[in-house]
Amino acid sequence: MSRTQTRRVVSLWQLWATLVALSLVLTGCTNQERGNPDGWVEIVPETVPEIAALVPEDLQKRGVLRMGTNTPFAPFEFKDSDGTIIGTEMDLGRALASVMGLEFEPVEQDFALILPSVSSGTVDVGGSGFTDTEERRQNYDFVNTLYAGIQWAQHAERDAEIDPEHPCGLTVAVQRNTVAQTDEIIPKSQACAEAGEEPIEILAYDTSDNAATAFVLGRADAFAADSPIVSWVEDQADGEIQEVGPMYHAAPYGFAVPKDAELTNALVAAMDHLIETGTYEEILDQWNIQDGLIEEPLVNEKPVEIPLSHTLAP
């Protein structure tokens, strides 16, 4: 699966700037700074000695978990106005590292270089909106973080709620060559035409931020993108848009590690600890992600045995 199919890239601080510029036209537009959301706090759990003991010895000595990533892909990873890499995956990575007794260091790389860097040991983990696919599982294991799929959104003031199951005749903004376009909007448009109804008018843009901006400006009836992206845009638009319909084409996201790596055991135990203590949900909630959360540690979308003799959650 290509990067454009697995990462629906969005630079949302550009959208913020657009919304602010439109504030005379669109009421309630965001006035947040280009950074973490309102109410965000850094969540750094205490180290759990039993989990820290599972960390490979060389990594224990170094004391820093290095995560390869590529920006922008808000809310997962993007830069704030100071150039610091922030986002959901950065917060999760920092929390996992802390539970394992490690500091956390994001390493910005070209997207195509991240997995090779994981293989070579240049970075310990790959965290850049990776979809956990069968093809990638041939060489890597994925400690899953959540499920994401395609979500629709409409303008909140629209008289009638859009039904994504019956979208004939609508104008829909999407990012070009993404799953939202190729697997969701185009097939539904074709089905409309085959049924003798008006097809969907597809407004395809190079980036999700451009698609979202066109939608906010009123050039489209609906916007379709990755569910976390839509939730994030909805949160930043301060009531101007709302999600509609279910999530389509759900797939697992995850942090990539080398196949059968020793580090996987520590990551699985740390993820279990975050889930059991509620820290995992708290982190995602700060980024307005309430859907697609996992309920137990998964590797390659399969439950795994926690490599500890007893539960560590209080």
Per-residue pLDDT tens over the stretch 245-275: 998 998 999 999 999 999 999 999 999 999 9
The reported pLDDT for the residue numbered 34 is 62
Higher-confidence residue of 16 and 112: namely 112
- Least confident piece of the model among 101-105, 128-132, 194-198: 128-132
- Average pLDDT over the chain reads 87
pLDDT per position as a tens digit, 86-122: 999 999 999 999 999 999 999 999 988 999 999 999 9
The reported pLDDT for the residue numbered 189 is 98
Does the pLDDT value for residue 30 go beyond 60?
Answer: no
User: Which of 194, 193, 234 has the alpha carbon at shortest distance from 202?
Assistant: 193
The reported pLDDT for the residue numbered 235 is 82
| Mean pLDDT value across residues 56-64 | 97
Does the pLDDT value for residue 158 go beyond 90?
Answer: yes
| Mean pLDDT value across residues 115-139 | 95
